Structure 1
Amino acid sequence: MRTDQPLLPGLDETELPPRAVYDGFDPARLTQARRLAGMTKKEVAERIGVTPAAVGQHETGVAKPRPELIPLLAEVLGVPLTFFVGGRPSNRLDASMAHFRSLRSTPKAQRERALAYAEQVWELTYALEKRVQLPLVDLPGFAGGEVHPGEAISADPRIAARELRQLWGLGRGPVTHLVRRMETHGVIVVTPDKADEAANMVDAFSSRTARPLAVLTPNRADDVFRHRFTAAHELGHLVLHSDATGDSQQEREADTFAAEFLTPAESLLPLLPQRLDLAVLAELRRTWGVSVHSLIYRARELGLISDATASRGYQRLRALGQQPGFAPEPVSDYPGEQPVILAKAFELAQREKGMTVDQLAQELSWHPSRVRELLGMAEQARPVLRLV
């Protein structure tokens, strides 16, 4: 992690000549910009009129791009000219530092693009945290924890889930406002805009950076119950796994953690019907905030129904998929399940420190639209002129 001051503070891209950018050129920033744009070295090379080998040399630091090519690079990759200047705080991530759901089905290029997105979330968080004190990291098992620094937690996912519920004072009942609770305990949670391909190519991921991060990618069904389980799954990774191996064992452990965290066996078992009853499960879905599919799986896991009964239940559930009580419910209908921590931090910095989007964008060397995007702020639409 680099936390130096900007090389040329106080200058915006209109004041900075390409030669000055050349002098302060950071090859890692070129790699980040290319990955965010979802482009290969070959594609960038074709757009700026050089060879792929030359782009590779620019990214490894063997050779810098010629000054006259730098404005073209900025245009092709959609970043300000100053984006390539080194010295800004950064936190380089690789695949070993992040847990990806459906890792095996996610191509390397898409993982790299998502990691570049996470790097920018870290940079934005760092910039805001210089001005606003965010909630302390209260996550046992997380080395950077501020409330329980380095405190061990059970390696057994079920026990770990129960321990975390106890430490967070959640009792034995349903966990309401899960995402908000994660943020309250110092986890940075973000849900990318559906148009942001940099993060939406993967089915959620988390990273144990200096501050824990969970990226909850919007799913096609827009289902709050799936969304909550995904959040609990990523929370399990943050608690249980210091290194991301990408193997199926870690994924199963995170799923086991999520199931026990959201629906503790001791509390749920007396409530589950002895025979499969989808109407009863639909009521439990509403109370516990988990899908009926998950409850069927839980009933089978706890020995109440057989594998064959569970399979029949899934078939019947598919037929009811769009009926009230069984249909997906949008995340937007549940305020406590939508991330707000970065937007609220910016609002506080704006109110108390006079911070503006443009100032933040200049500090980060991003376009203002990118700052608004990561803060979850909708672009202001132009007023419509109506002639009567």
Structure 2
Amino acid sequence: MLGPSPGERLRTLRELLGLTGAALSDMCGMSKSWISQVETKAREASEEGLRAVAESTGTPMSFFYARPSSIPLDSLHFRKLASASRTVTKRVQAFYSESYRITEDLLRDAKYPAPPLPYATSDDLAMDDIEELAAQTREALRIAPDKPIPNLTRAMERSGIAVAPIVLTDPAGEEQSGTQHHFGLSHWGGIGDVALVAYFPGAQGDRDRFTLAHELGHLVLHTFRPHAKDPEAEANSFAAALLVPKSRATVDITDRLSLTGYARLKATWGVSIQALIMRGHAIGNINESRKRSLFVQLTQRGWRKEEPVTVGHEYPLLLWTMLERGYGSKPYLSAAEELAIHPTVLRSIAPTPASKSAARQVMQPEKQADVLEFRRSSKRPDGALDVAVR
């Protein structure tokens, strides 16, 4: 098998850092034409030129000789808005591909178990099939069949599914604009292979939880069904079924439930009011007229943009734990050279946890008590419930 082309890796680095050819030329001192010709393989990449690029961007030289990601980009499950910038999307794809490569190296070196996920193979999936697969996924992740999921991130990581936040920054170190149009990406090679779910952290913890459940749905529903007719709708249905099992949704979500009641359900399940309304409609407990009425009420109260219950954020630990074990408590620079990656990628997908001792909990599930904390917010004039998920 032929090794990677330095030109291909140069293009990947540009996309990874969000740089145009002109911008990279200004940084490293190599001409724009040299960069273009190396990327298109019209000329050989000189060691001197690559080193100039490496030093100016803070990239280890090993990056240019690393094998590319093992996943084809067209196999990625990608949740984004239609308005997402094509340039940012290309950067996101490069970021995810490199993240997956690093995840493979870290988890396989640590002999971390592969996820025992169920999977769909039938071309035609009914809603009942999706409900059943969601129930099987709860069992595979060792989650109670009919209880709220205290920490979905931790349940996924303990079952072998790596979870990585993606934060793209501009040259000044500020978060890049445009990423708000992207939500998550995922890939699983199948039985015995590595799975990685990446997401863009948002302002609301319930949105992030739904994104993780949605991407988990892609792994279960579409790894062996890559040409499903409407994969996004299926993944949304799976996410709702995973987060709020039908046995409980049928009882809790009725056509008489008020928005205040939905707010209390949100505090219980860590799922947005809007998603709960859609869940009630999907299982037949709410008709179309009632659904429309509830959404009108949400708009009138201003809750379509800002709902009244706060769901705390979940924080991944698995990839950080692997880095810390291999490279110490300050792993980014030392790991970057050996893993052949820009340190920015490592800092994004494996952020340092607020508590170093917390990182060890991901490998010691029997000592971790996941809980939902409920409290009334003293900062909210309406006295709405806050819920912190940790």
Q: TM-score, normalised by structure 2?
A: 0.74
Q: 2:89: which partner in 1?
A: 111
Please tell me the residue identity of whatever aligns with 1:372. R
Is the contact between residue 59 and residue 343 of structure 2 (CA under 8 Å) also seen in structure 1?
no
> Which region of structure 1 is more displaced relative to structure 2, 289-298 or 269-278?
269-278
**What do you get for the CA RMSD once the two structures are aligned?**
3.6
From the superposition, tell whether residues 186 and 200 of structure 1 become closer, same or farther in structure 2 (CA, over 3 Å). farther
Residue aligning to 1:317 = 298
Post-superposition CA distance 1:244-296 (Å, at most 9, x none):
96987110010111111111222211222332411221221111221111111
Q: 1:45 to 1:180 in 2, by over 3 A?
A: same
Shift of 1:235: 0.3
Q: Could you tell me which residue of structure 1 aligns to residue 256 of structure 2?
A: 275
Is residue 74 of structure 1 aligned with residue 54 of structure 2?
Answer: yes
Counting only pairs closer than 5 Å after superposition, residues 214-229 of structure 1 correspond to structure 2 as: 214-219=197-202, 222-229=203-210
- Aligned equivalents of 2:279, 2:63: Cα separation in 1: 50
- Describe the shift of the 1:25–1:284 C-alpha distance in structure 2 as closer, same or farther (beyond 3 A): closer
8 A contact 1:223–1:330 mirrored in 2: yes
Q: In the alignment, is the contact (CA less than 8 A) between 1:206 and 1:237 conserved in 2? A: yes
Aligned residue for 1:174, secondary structure, equals: coil
Question: For 1:108-157, what per-residue CA distance to the aligned partner results, in whole angstroms no more than 9, with x for missing partners?
Answer: 33222112211232233244335533243221229xxxxxxxx9999442
Give the Å deviation of 1:230.
Answer: 1.0
> Which residue of 2 is the match for residue 375 of structure 1?
350
Shift of 1:43: 5.0
Aligned AA for 1:361?
A: A
For residues 285-343 of structure 1, the C-alpha deviation after alignment (integer angstroms, 9 at most, x for no partner) is 111221111111122223333323222212222344569x94252543xxxx3211111
Instruction: Give yes or no for the alignment of 1:158 onto 2:136.
Output: no
Q: Are the counterparts in 2 of residues 194 and 200 from structure 1 also a CA contact under 8 Å?
A: yes
Counterpart secondary structure, 1:105: coil
For residue 275 of structure 1, give the secondary structure of its aligned residue in structure 2.
Answer: coil
Displacement of 1:56 in angstroms is 4.1
Shift of 1:172: 2.1
Secondary structure at 1:274 match in 2: coil
Name the aligned partner's letter for residue 205 of structure 1.
L
Tell whether the 8 Å contact from 1:174 to 1:287 is kept in structure 2 after alignment.
Answer: yes
Closer/same/farther in 2, CA of residues 309 and 218 from structure 1, 3 Å limit: same
Amino acid at match of 1:175: I
Contact kept in structure 2, 1:224 and 1:329, CA below 8 Å: yes
2:37 and 2:31 map into 1 onto residues whose CA distance is 11
Number of corresponding residues: 339
Of residues 149, 152, 164, the one that matches 1:175 is 149
The 1:75/1:314 distance shift into structure 2, 3 A limit, reads farther
- Hey, what's the Cα distance between the residues in 2 that align with 1:192 and 1:93? 18
Equivalent positions of 1:52-63 (< 5 A) are 55-63=35-43
Question: C-alpha deviations, 1:72-124, integer Å up to 9, x for none?
Answer: 43356x243514541x3441544312111136433433222112211232233
Tell me which of 205, 213, 217 is aligned to 2:196: 213
Aligned to 1:191: 165
Partner residue, 2:213: 232
Bigger CA radius of gyration: 1
1:385 alignment partner in structure 2: none
- Relative distance call for 1:152 and 1:350 in structure 2 (3 A) is farther
Deviates more, 1:155-164 or 1:364-373: 364-373
Deviation at 1:30, TM superposition (A): 0.6
Q: Secondary structure at the match of 1:138?
A: coil
1:142-157 matches, cutoff 5 A: 155=125, 156-157=129-130
Of stretches 105-114 and 37-46 in structure 1, the one that deviates more from structure 2 is 37-46
Deviation readout 1:181-213 (Å, 9 max, x if unpaired): 111111110112474549946221112254111
Matches of 1:73 and 1:36, distance apart in 2:
13
**CA shift at 1:164, angstroms?**
1.9
In 1, Cα distance between the equivalents of 2:178 and 2:196?
Answer: 13
Gaps of 5+ in 1: 5-23, 143-150, 380-388
- Partner residue of 1:16? none
| Superposed counterparts of 1:296-307, under 5 Å | 296-307=277-288
Distance in 2, Cα, partners of 1:104 & 1:262: 26
Counting strand residues as a fraction of each chain, which structure ranks higher? 2
